[in-house]
Chain A
Amino acid sequence: MRHALPARLLAIALTAATGTAAAAEGNAEDGRVKAYTCAGCHGLEGYRNAYPSYRVPKIYGQHYEYLVAALNAYRSGERNHPTMRAQGESLSDQDIADLARFLAGAPAPAAQ
């Protein structure tokens, strides 16, 4: 009994640690669901940003670390893009990790 409490605390601590690790790693399946919003611009054939006009970038197959940095930069305003800043502000750290993990996934078969 004496050891029961510390064991429980340890279990809680481990759960907390695992939770943190999951946030840092990101979950690709969750990211796939969350990425439906991204597809509204990044998943439309030939979709263009307006003012200035350019094709919105390819983001699938990009590095995880770069995607996390870019999304954080939009969220903080380090990158000033009205649409992406608004998107970034709605994202939690977990959302960013999940999205980046999905987007950095194994490349889809080349279709071009």
Chain B
Amino acid sequence: MRTIVPTLSLLLAAGVAAAGNVTGDADRGRRIHLGEEQIAGVAACSTCHGTDGNATQAPTFPRLAGQYAEYLVYALESYTNGTRNNAIMLPIASGLTRKDMEDLAVFYAAQKGDLRDLSEVITD
């Protein structure tokens, strides 16, 4: 307990957020998303996925706001390991570290949007 409590307080103070099994820095995720923190070879995610992650400007790009963080990390890794073959996302995802992915994922998971789990829609 002696070590756990101070560690937790430190993490909280640093703005670390947990979403499911993913822990990340949502504020850093936001900065990467907006291009305020630039990563070599990685365009600002907001260009295609929208300032708030709802991708309102281009329906071929997915909405990310409110999506599960674990799924977002899986999807990003899928573009880098060949599970998903996508010419746009391959170079972008390849430029991200696992930490970058986690920071982005917890940021998107915390945004408000139209995405819903089907359990909320199909109830019978």
Residues of B close to A64: CB separation below 8 A? 59
Q: Which residue of B lies closest to A68 (CB)?
A: B60
Specify the main secondary structure of chain B where it touches its partner: loop
Is A63 a contact partner of B118 (Cβ separation < 8 A)?
Answer: no
User: In the assembled complex, how far is the CB of residue B56 from the closest CB belonging to chain A, in whole angstroms?
Assistant: 9
Of residues 74 through 112 on chain A, the ones whose CB sits less than 8 Å from some CB of chain B are 78-81, 107-108, 111-112
Interface size of B by Cβ–Cβ distance < 8 Å?
Answer: 32
* B residues 51-100 touching A (CB-CB < 8 Å): 55, 59-63, 66-68, 70-71, 73-75, 78, 82-86
How many pairs, one residue from A and one from B, have CB atoms within 8 Å of each other in the complex? 101
B115 at the interface (CB under 8 A from A): yes
- Alpha-carbon separation in the docked complex, A108 to B74 (Å): 26
A70 to B62, CA, bound (A): 10
| A52, B74: Cβ atoms closer than 8 Å | yes
Q: How far is the CA of A59 from the CA of B85 in the complex (A)?
A: 20
Main secondary structure of the interface of A (DSSP, over half): loop
Tell me how many residues of A have a C-beta within 8 Å of chain B: 36
A54–B75 Cα distance when bound, in Å, is 10
Decide if A66 touches B117 in the complex (CB within 8 Å): no
Q: Show 19 A/B contacts (Cβ-Cβ < 8 Å), sorted by A.
A: A43-B117, A43-B118, A53-B21, A54-B70, A54-B71, A55-B70, A56-B68, A57-B68, A58-B115, A58-B116, A60-B115, A60-B118, A60-B120, A61-B113, A61-B114, A65-B60, A66-B59, A66-B63, A79-B84
11 more A-B contacts (CB under 8 A) besides A62-B63, A79-B84? A36-B122, A43-B117, A43-B121, A44-B119, A54-B68, A54-B71, A55-B71, A58-B117, A60-B115, A60-B116, A65-B60
* Residues of B that sit less than 8 Å from A by CB: 20-21, 55, 59-63, 66-68, 70-71, 73-75, 78, 82-86, 113-122
